A and B are shown apart, each in its own frame.
Chain A
Amino acid sequence: AQSVTQPDIHITVSEGASLELRCNYSYGATPYLFWYVQSPGQGLQLLLKYFSGDTLVQGIKGFEAEFKRSQSSFNLRKPSVHWSDAAEYFCAVGYQAGTALIFGKGTTLSVSS
């Protein structure tokens, strides 16, 4: 069965510092991988997605993620965090386009000044 693990429940990063949020998935083939962000009281917004091709994908708001098949990972990165990035981040996997997603439990990002 597919599963997604986000090992870090809560991360605090200083404003301007770099960020990496970890995501590991369990799936037999190459899945469709997504990162979403959720601000308090809001729905989920897609940051980026990976299906195939270049393993480094660029997303919105300056985020990027790298797919590493050997590690079954899809970590999210940002070189310089802004206070407005404080939110909850979800990694998700789907087995094909247009199907339901399986989400990780999320990582809450706090940004300190």
Chain B
Amino acid sequence: DARVTQTPRHKVTEMGQEVTMRCQPILGHNTVFWYRQTMMQGLELLAYFRNRAPLDDSGMPKDRFSAEMPDATLATLKIQPSEPRDSAVYFCASGQGDRQYFGPGTRLTVT
């Protein structure tokens, strides 16, 4: 079974540090999404790409977050500097057509 992979699965860091999360979408999928899950807000879209071009990043705090797709096999989400309120599970999903396949998530804890 093809799967979306995410690294790292867990990350603990101190406030002010840079955090980079990586996602490998399913080969052949042309759309990649980044979602964030918190207890308070639930699942929220941060950004998404189609054919590596950003389509919507309105859910992302622009001053500290950045998302890129250096190539079709890698999507990155970077936080610099990180803050305690960024603690959450970050999910990557890839899709082709009407389905989105989710990765296992990166659990980020910022102390």
Among A18-26, A64-72, A100-108, the stretch that binds chain B is A100-108
Contact A98 B98 (CB under 8 A): yes
Q: A1-44, CB under 8 A of B: which get 1 and which 0?
A: 00000000000000000000000000000001000100001111
Among B68-76, B77-85, B102-110, the stretch that binds chain A is B102-110
Chain A residue with Cβ nearest B91: A43
**Which chain B residues lie closer than 8 Å to A97 at the CB level?**
97-98
How many chain B residues sit at the interface, stated as a range, is: 20 to 34
Q: Which of A41, A44, A51, A106 contacts B91 (CB 8 A)?
A: A44
Q: A98-B50, A100-B56, A101-B45 are in contact. Are A43 and B105 (CB under 8 A)?
A: yes
Taking Cβ atoms with an 8 Å cutoff, the residues of A that contact B are 32, 36, 41-46, 49, 51, 90, 92, 97-106
Can you name 20 A-B pairs with beta carbons within 8 Å?
A36-B102, A41-B104, A43-B91, A43-B103, A43-B105, A44-B91, A44-B93, A46-B100, A46-B101, A97-B97, A98-B31, A98-B50, A98-B97, A98-B98, A100-B33, A100-B48, A100-B56, A101-B33, A103-B42, A105-B42
